[in-house]
Structure 1
Amino acid sequence: MTASTTRRTTAKSRIAAVGAIAVAGTMLLTACGDQTDSGTKSSETSATKDAPLADLLPKDIKDKGVVKVGSDIAYPPVEFKDKSGKIVGIDPDLGAALGKQLGVTFQFENGTFDTLITGLRSKRYDLAMSAMTDTKDRQTGVDSETGKKVGEGVDFVDYFTAGVSIYTKKGDTQSISTWADLCGKKIAVQRGTVSHDLAKTETKKCEGGKKIAIEAFDTDLEAQTRLRGGGADAGSSDFPVAAYAVKTSGGGKDFEIVGDQVEAAPYGIAVAKGNDKLTKAVQAALDAIIKNGEYGKIISKWGVEAGAVTEAKINGGS
């Protein structure tokens, strides 16, 4: 989410099976190999072939074969559940591809967005991957609204770029095209996102007592429901999410995007401070799938090529 400390501000998986098969194949070969030098070498060779970057992982994660990923799984098309209940989207697909390189399964676990970094600190998750915008405040553990230190921060492996968009009910834009146009109106957003932060910042600039009425929800889907039902004049979320909502909600008849996206910034995979080995392993895996073309296929599949990156950077947000 986009350029705020809280941004999701900042937008899972058909490839997950591939990652699981790779892990299963590696485990099977290791278990079945003869307990001789030649058998061991054969197993190691096969494991390296199936998961060429497995040795970069911390030993405890490599031994478990699972990376626990905290994610707010209600943010289509980044991560969400399809009609069958399966977790799908950009992040799960990328997670499966990364897992294939590392020889582990990326296991997505649902949580509210504003608790994901806390989950990293408490070791509930190994990673947080949820359209989370890489910002200096998040890196250093500073609350963007108060400027106060609230934690030790996290490191990010940047994997996508997105800005924030405003959208309204289709055919009822009320002349809204910029954030300033929201003064005197009501906006529905997801709590703890860049959209939420932008609304709070913009309302302080409003003149004549025409403040922005802000309704913040646990999920972006709840905010969309509020707007769809007429309880707000506009909504805001990361561009990929807003574009997906415009395309799919009501068969494309519910919403329309107004104005240009703002606050373009990188999404990052968050890792707890001090876990440098895992950070570098994820970076290497991301670079590998960018190089072999798998990253591009996933990004194209979800129609978000404009946000693709060409290399995996650590803490590239500002």
Structure 2
Amino acid sequence: MTARSPRRPSVALRPTAIGALAVAGALLLTACGDQTNEADAKKSKDSGSSAAAAPLADLLPEDVKAKGVVKVGSDIAYAPVEFKDDSGKTAGIDPDLADALGKQLGVKFEFETGTFDTLLTGLRSGRYDIAMSAMTDTKDRQEGVDSDTGKKVGEGVDFVDYFTAGVSIYTKKGDDKGIKTWADLCGKKLVVQRGTVSEDLAKAESKKCGKGKKITLEAFDNDQQAQTRLRAGGADAGSSDFPVAAYAVKTSGGGNDFQLVGEQVEAAPYGIAVAKDDAKLRDAIKAALDAVIKSGEYQKILDKWGASEGAVTEAVINGGK
């Protein structure tokens, strides 16, 4: 904002002066209009170029295409699927796949962090457009049912499945406490991330244990907290999805902190969660994922993160059971 000038005495203007001012004003407005139109034209041209470079842009809902952004809810503490690298940048399988999807659709996928057990609530409330966070596609989540109580807790979501992973148990290295299977966890203390399939499995297994031999379960907001607890000797074992457990075993303490025990169980698809009333966005993401798989970029991303054994050959909608 410019400073106001002191008020000057009014002066009668001659007709010729008024005409000159009118012409000057018209020229000024025309010049401004030309600059605005040129800027709008350039912006439109840039958008057109971006759309032309994105073969599947027209599949998106108009509001998403106009924003140019897909807001992604994610628990960014689950390496190697999604995590903050040493520079603070969001990295991992999901961010890399999201970048590849964005190139197909002509939009940017922006990750916003949240605790895992609140992501679907955030999706339903409109805080996120999708949730992408190593989330297992299950019938309960599709239908909005609480796995623990069996009660309906909200509207379900649709999933676009993009990876397959089982659940693994890991212990401190050289100290497996005799744990080889889930049944061996009876009478032991297990750490997990809250709201995960690992937590559901532990609760189900504990009900099978003999009297006085239940599994003591401690659930945390994220998997890194659970790993810290186990590393410090505060539990007998931890459990998480296989690629996450394997990554922790490989990297924590230079590979000296943890070891995998037994085989992974309950192999199931990871899905990108989309609101039930957003079928157009869901179908656009499926088409983009199929294109990324077909191009070979998908396999390169999984190879980069050592997760190739979880690869799928096509995207599937609501393939979880």
Specify if TM > 0.5.
yes
Provide the residue aligned with 1:4 in structure 2.
none
Provide the residue aligned with 1:127 in structure 2.
130
Equivalent AA in structure 2 for residue 56 of structure 1: L
- Residue 200 (structure 1) aligned with residue 210 (structure 2): no
Equivalent AA in structure 2 for residue 311 of structure 1: E
Shift of 1:174: 1.1
Shift of 1:82: 0.8
CA distance in 2, matches of 1:71, 1:132: 9
Provide the residue aligned with 1:13 in structure 2.
none
Provide the residue aligned with 2:187 in structure 1.
184
Q: Specify the SS of the correspondent of 2:248.
A: helix
Gap regions ≥5 residues in structure 2: 1-38
Shift of 1:48: 4.4
- Residue 32 (structure 1) aligned with residue 42 (structure 2): yes
- Residue 113 (structure 1) aligned with residue 116 (structure 2): yes
Equivalent AA in structure 2 for residue 195 of structure 1: S
Gap regions ≥5 residues in structure 1: 1-28
Deviation by residue 1:261-318 (Cα, 9 ceiling, x = unmatched)? 0010000000011100000000000000001111111011001000001001000010
Deviation by residue 1:208-261 (Cα, 9 ceiling, x = unmatched)? 411111010000000000000000000000000000000000000000000000
Q: Specify the SS of the correspondent of 1:267.
A: strand
Structure 1 stretches (4+) deviating beyond 3 angstroms?
46-49
Q: Specify the SS of the correspondent of 1:230.
A: coil
Provide the residue aligned with 1:225 in structure 2.
228
Shift of 1:175: 1.1
Equivalent AA in structure 2 for residue 179 of structure 1: W
Provide the residue aligned with 2:213 in structure 1.
210
Indicate which of 240, 256, 259 corresponds to 2:259: 256
CA distance in 2, matches of 1:296, 1:30: 40
CA distance in 2, matches of 1:31, 1:90: 38
Equivalent AA in structure 2 for residue 67 of structure 1: V
Q: Given the superposition, is the C-alpha separation of residues 281 and 168 from structure 1 closer, same or farther in structure 2, using an over 3 Å criterion?
A: same
TM-score w.r.t. length of structure 2 = 0.86
Q: Specify the SS of the correspondent of 1:180.
A: helix
Q: Specify the SS of the correspondent of 1:130.
A: coil
Equivalent positions of 1:74-113 (< 5 A) are: 74-113=77-116
Indicate which of 161, 164, 177 corresponds to 2:164: 161
Provide the residue aligned with 1:295 in structure 2.
298
Shift of 1:145: 1.1
Provide the residue aligned with 2:5 in structure 1.
none
Q: Given the superposition, is the C-alpha separation of residues 59 and 187 from structure 1 closer, same or farther in structure 2, using an over 3 Å criterion?
A: same
TM-score w.r.t. length of structure 1 = 0.87
Q: Given the superposition, is the C-alpha separation of residues 246 and 157 from structure 1 closer, same or farther in structure 2, using an over 3 Å criterion?
A: same
- Residue 243 (structure 1) aligned with residue 253 (structure 2): no
Q: Specify the SS of the correspondent of 1:189.
A: strand
Indicate which of 70, 75, 79 corresponds to 1:72: 75
CA distance in 1, matches of 2:97, 2:278: 21
Shift of 1:31: 4.5
Alignment RMSD = 1.7
Provide the residue aligned with 2:288 in structure 1.
285
- Count of equivalent residues: 284
Indicate which of 61, 64, 75 corresponds to 2:64: 61
Shift of 1:194: 0.6
CA distance in 1, matches of 2:47, 2:251: 47
CA distance in 1, matches of 2:274, 2:53: 25
Q: Specify the SS of the correspondent of 2:204.
A: helix
Kept after mapping to 2: 8 A contact 1:165/1:237: yes
CA distance in 2, matches of 1:282, 1:81: 24
Q: Specify the SS of the correspondent of 2:306.
A: coil
Provide the residue aligned with 1:137 in structure 2.
140
CA distance in 2, matches of 1:222, 1:272: 29
Q: Given the superposition, is the C-alpha separation of residues 255 and 143 from structure 1 closer, same or farther in structure 2, using an over 3 Å criterion?
A: same
Kept after mapping to 2: 8 A contact 1:53/1:101: yes
Q: Given the superposition, is the C-alpha separation of residues 60 and 176 from structure 1 closer, same or farther in structure 2, using an over 3 Å criterion?
A: same
Shift of 1:43: 7.1
Equivalent positions of 1:10-49 (< 5 A) are: 31-32=41-42, 44=48, 46-49=49-52
Shift of 1:32: 2.0
Q: Which protein, 1 or 2, shows the higher relative CO under an 8 Å CA cutoff with sep ≥ 6? A: 1
Shift of 1:49: 3.6
Shift of 1:126: 0.1
CA distance in 2, matches of 1:171, 1:74: 26
Kept after mapping to 2: 8 A contact 1:30/1:43: no
